[in-house]
Each structure stands twice: as structure tokens, then as C-alpha cells.
Amino acid sequence: MTRDPFKFLDAYSLEDADLFYGREREIEDLYSNVFQSRLLLLYGASGTGKTSLVQCGLANSFHERDWLPIHVRYDKGLLLALDAAIEKRAKTRPKPGASLSQRLASLYLDHFKPVQLIFDQFEELFTRGDEAEREAFALAIAEVLAPDSEASEVRVLLIVREEYLAACTPMEWILPELFANRQRLERMGRTAAERAIVEPCRVCGVEVKEELASEILDRLGARGPGLGGPSGTAGIELTYLQVVLDKLYKRALAASPDRPELKHEDLDALGSLDNILGDFLTEQLGAMPDAMAPTAEAILKSMVTTEGTKKPMRLEELLEELPGLECEAERAAVLDALGRLVAVRILREKDDAGGYELRHDALAGKIFERMSAMEKDLLEIVARLESRLREYEKDGDLLDATMLRRAAPFAPRLGFKPKLAKLIEDSQREAKKRLRRRRMVLGGLVALAFVVLAGFTAWNVRERNEAKRQEGIAKANETKAMEQEARAMEQEQKANANAEEARAREQDAKRSLAEIAKIYATEGNKARDHHDFGSALLRYRASLDLLENQAARIGAAETMTKSRPERAVLRGHSDSVEAFAITPDGRTIASISEKEKIVHLWDSVNGKELAAQGCRISKCLWLPFLCKNDSSFNFSVYAVQYF
């Protein structure tokens, strides 16, 4: 029996180097890029053979002593899977609390080989992990790749589907070099695809009819020697090509086990190749016993994500995921269905720990197409609830009202998931408590509002009454003010009348003083006419004491000239005398000259000068009376004006 030349839906591995054709140039590029920097990003569409390129092409480019590949796949967390992979390859136990860099450095010393971390299907970090996990992973890798890291002999290779490339962008803040060294794997061109068909058959001794490879590619939609597909798809979908080749080989092997030959008639018997993978899935499920087929399909649907990608699961997770497994017989049926799905190459056993996964994401897409709208909605709500369950287990965050409303229609179908059912139950209980608290708070607020309203109403009544009282007081004050104003006006009128009366009395008094002063002046004139000059001066003085008047002053002056005619000549002025005055006792005479600005004092008896003082003189001359007091002369409060 010949060796199988094709891998069906499995990736090529290290042992398949002699069967791996069509990617020679890409292998060289990848090998070169590995050494460009310590971080390399390999991306491409699903079905381009990224895993095969690394596991077979790149792996065979290294000698075993040149590198230590550590393959990591998401399993309950990418960092947890990395820890498990390191522990599996470690020869010495690292120190407790050792960092990731220290554990990788220890791994390098265990083997003395550069360590290559290979994170295959990196998109699972986005389909199955949350934002916090992605950030933690980026920080851990940034620590490993730091220039001063202890793990300086460690390189990192990320393999991701290109539709998740944009989802990697937030990590660039932590890993600035994330996109600096990257390689895109294109779909295989026609020429390379022909070699991928013919050369493995040659190695395994399988004959290929002439032009059959070209016809297969034509049927799959490849046109021209390079790239190009029927609907804008570049190159060959290798998943579909492998399924077709596997079917052809199985037919050839059945017809001639010793010398199998791929024939045109076998290709024609396959019919349309447009949905070859979907047909394969339907064919395998249809071939199962009637009692097994529903269980098998339920298993397949539980291993698909909401994005239509494959989701690896352990046996215990599957048993928890599937509804209605209440007895051992039902659990045994699940195990039988799993064994059948592995046998027909739809599932593969992922590891020794009881893990299973679909052989290819292309199968996941076909299974997703078979799901009803209700099943897709259920799948989505389960994925959301599982994400929230992780948050609940980590931080105790329950579901909010929106999530509870979305989950409500699916609650009866979630009973087979105890953890999710408990999360919903706890969230509903807490929501009811919150509702009761809100109602109590609302009732309290309503009561408070009523109390406030009642208090405001009472306050408003008091304020209104107070306003009325104040208004009455204001009116009373206004009336009182008006009365006071009237009394003030009355008092003002009385004051005006009193003032008029006082002025009248003052005028009367002035008239009386004037009449008395006139009498004194008249008596002075009479005394002067009788040459009784002393009595005349006394009368004039009395008149002037009562009221300043011209008649008394002139009479006094004339009397003075007549009382002692030419008894003495007062000499001392160098200019004309402008004014003079006599003391009340008649003993001293004062004279003043405007130009000299000097006051002369004379003895009225003998005419001798007593003193001379400088003074300031304005146009209107005022000469004060002088009186003798303690042998010194002081200005009196009276003044005589002479023009």
C-alpha cells in the first residue's frame, strides 16, 4: 500500500518535508524574516497554509540544534497555555515567583538553543479572550522582548488570520514593533498549486493523468499561471484543494491499492466542487447512525465561535456544554460520537488531556452555516455570558439589566450550564434587590417630596401672612410718616413765622437802636453847639456803641477839631494823612498815611509822637482804636473808617 500523498485538513509537520511543495519562496522569506527582529507577525487568509508553512517549511529550514520551537495554542488563556508549554519542555524547575523572562532564560540554559515561541491561531486571543487578557499578554511579551530582558535568546512568532490584523492594533501601544516585521502569506498561485498536486504524488508513487492537475484547478476556479479566482479571490483555496485530492486518492486507492492513479473520470464523478467541503460534512453526518447524528451535530455546533471559527474544547467542557446529559448512557453516546467524528477526520484530538477541535476553520464556517438563527443567537448569548462569567469569577461583577433582558429568552436552554444559570440567577436576585431598593428610595423621595411640599406650603402661608402683616405695618408707617410730615410742615410754617417775627423784632430793635443812637448823636450835637465838648464826645461815643452811624462819627470828628483848636501841630508824616482815630478817653490820637504805611500815635494834650509802627494798608483804610493797658498799646475790637 502506498503512502498517502495528501494531508486532507491536517497541517504539514516536520516529517512531511518531502510532500510539502509550492511554498519554496515563502519559506525562504519566512526564514529570513525570523532573523530580522525578535518579533515576527505572519498573517494571511484562512486556508492559505500558515500553520504548514511554519510547522513544516520553517521547521525544516533549521537544524534541530539551531532552535527550540515552543508551539502555543489558546487554552483557558494564552499566558496559561504558554506557562504549560514552558513547563513541559523545562528540565530544571525555576525559582518560585520567577518572571516569564527568567523562566524562558532558564529554558534556554536547559537546552542551549535559541527559543522560538510560536503562537499559532493567535486570533483565538480575540475570539475567546477579553481585553484585560490581551493587555496582560502584550505586557508579558514586551517584558520578554525588552533590550535588558534576561530572555535575550528568545524570539516570538505570531500567526494570525488577516481579518484579525486590525484587532491587534491596540497592542501596538505596548508592542511598538508589532507590525515592523511582518509577512503576508498569499493564496497559492496556479503554477505552485500544480506542483503541490503532482510532486507529492510522484514521491508516493501515485500516478496523475495528464492535464488532471490543471483540470482540478480549473474546476476550483484558479485562472492563469499566477493569482486570480472566480470572484475576486486570489489564488487557490488549499483547504478545498486538499479535500478534492483526498477524495480522488481514496477512489484511486479503492480501485487499485498497489498502483493508485488519479483519473479524470473520478474527478467528473465528484460533480460540482463549489461546496465540496460542505458536501463532505453532510456526507459524513449522513453516514452516521440515526441515533448518533444529532449528538454529533450538536458536538460540532458547540465547537464553533460566534465568528464562525473553530473553538477547541476539552471533554469535560463538551459534556457541560451539551444539554440533556443526565445519565451515563447519554455521556457514552457523546464519547461514541466524538470517536466517530475523529475517525472521519472532522475532529482531531488536540492533545493527551482530552482536548478536541475541528480540523480546520473552513469546517467551522460550514458548520456555522448549518446553524439556525436561533442557534446562532444562542451561541452569541452564551459567548457573551461566558465572558461575563469570567468577569464575575474575577471581580464579582453581575449582569446588568440589558444583558438580563437579552438572556431572558434563552434562559430555559441554559439550564445545562450550571455556572451560567447560577450567574443569571444571582444577577436576577440582585436586580430584584436593586429594584426593591429603587422603589424604597423612590418611595422615600416621594415622601420627602411630600414633606418638603407640605413644609413649603406652610412656609408659603407663613410668608404670605407675614407679608400681609408687613404690608399693614408699612401702611401704618406710611400713614405715620405722612402725619409726621404734616407736623413737620406745620412746625416749619411755625418756624418760618417765628423767624419772620424775630426778623421783625430785630428790625424793630435796630430801629429802636437807630432812634436811640440818633438821640445820642443829636444830644452830642447840642452839647457840641454849647461847647460842652466832653459831653458831646461821650454822647457820640454812646451813639456809636449802640449803632455805627455817620452822624455820630462826623460829629465826633468835628468836636475833636473844635475842642482844642490848634493847640498843637502833629508832625511826623512825610505824606498826606489818610485816616486818624482817637481813643475813648481822648488822650491818644492815631494817624496813618497810605504811602508811608506807618501808624503814628500822638499825645492829644501836647501833640508829641508816642510811637510809630509799620503796617499793611489796602485801598480801604481801617485804623483801630488804641487803648492804654499796662503801659502798652493793643488794638481794640472797634475800628473807625475814614475816607
pLDDT tens track for 479-501:
888 888 888 888 888 888 888 88
Distances (CA, A) of 267 to 223, 242, 243: 18, 13, 12
Q: What is the pLDDT of residue 635?
A: 35
pLDDT confidence of residue 225: 47
- Confidence (pLDDT) at 164: 93
- CA quadruple 287, 292, 293, 295: dihedral sign: negative
pLDDT of 406-463, one tens digit each?
767 766 666 556 777 777 777 878 788 888 888 888 888 888 888 888 888 888 888 8
**CB-based contacts of 25, cutoff 8 Å, min separation 6:** none
Integer CA distances (angstroms), 556 to 205, 402, 512, in order = 174, 125, 22
pLDDT of residue 60: 95
Closest CA to 520 of 497, 538, 539: 539
Highest mean pLDDT among 203-212, 328-337, 374-383: 203-212
Over range 34-52, report the average pLDDT: 94
Query: Does the pLDDT at position 42 exceed 50?
Result: yes
Q: Give the start-to-end residue ranges of the domains of the chain.
A: 23-187, 567-641
Cell matching residue 507: 428790625
- Which one has a higher pLDDT value, 187 or 324? 187
Residue whose cell numbers read 479524470: 264
Over 60: is that where the pLDDT of 537 sits? yes
pLDDT in tens, 58-110: 999 999 888 999 999 988 889 999 999 999 999 998 888 899 999 999 999 99
At 621 the pLDDT is: 39
Give the residue among 62, 168, 79, 77 at the shortest CA–CA distance from 115. 62
Which range, 213-227, 488-502, 604-618, has the best average confidence (pLDDT)?
A: 488-502
**Selection from 485-499, 524-538, 544-558 with the highest mean pLDDT:** 485-499
Average of per-residue pLDDT across 349-357 = 70
Rounded Cα–Cα distance for residues 559 and 524 (Å): 9
- pLDDT score recorded for residue 627: 36
Q: What is the pLDDT of residue 420?
A: 72
**Looking at per-residue confidence, does 546 or 527 come out higher?**
527
pLDDT-derived band at 513 (thresholds 50, 70, 90) equals confident
Dist. CA 499–CA 495, nearest whole Å: 6
- CATH fourth-level superfamily of 23-187: P-loop containing nucleotide triphosphate hydrolases (3.40.50.300)
Q: What is the mean pLDDT of residues 338-344?
A: 89
> What average pLDDT does range 347-357 have in this prediction?
73
- Which CA distances in Å does 10 have to 242, 275, 312, 406? 9, 19, 15, 38
**Is the pLDDT at 538 greater than 50, yes or no?**
yes
What integer is the mean pLDDT of 348-353?
66
Indicate the range of 122-126, 311-315, 612-616, 639-643 predicted with least confidence: 639-643
- One DSSP character per residue, 396-460 reads -PPP-HHHHHHHGGGGGGGTT-HHHHHHHHHHHHHHHHHHHHHHHHHHHHHHHHHHHHHHHHHHH
Whether residue 616 is predicted with pLDDT greater than 70 in this model: the reply is: no
Which cell is 302 given? 458547540
For residues 308 and 362, the answer to whether their CB atoms sit within 8 Å is no
Q: Mean pLDDT lowest for which of 238-252, 369-383, 585-599, 604-618?
A: 604-618
Q: Across 226-235, 245-254, 591-600, 608-617, which has the greatest mean pLDDT?
A: 245-254
593 forms beta bridges with 598
pLDDT reading at 305 higher than 70? yes
| Of 538 and 363, the one with more pLDDT | 363
Please answer whether residues 311 and 128 qualify as being in contact, where contact means their C-beta atoms are separated by less than 8 angstroms: yes
Q: Alpha-carbon distance 167 to 151, whole Å?
A: 27
* Distance in angstroms (rounded) separating the CA atoms of residues 312 and 357: 4
Strands 154-161 and 115-119: parallel
Owner of C-alpha cell 401704618: 476
Task: Band the pLDDT of 529: cuts 50, 70, 90.
Answer: confident
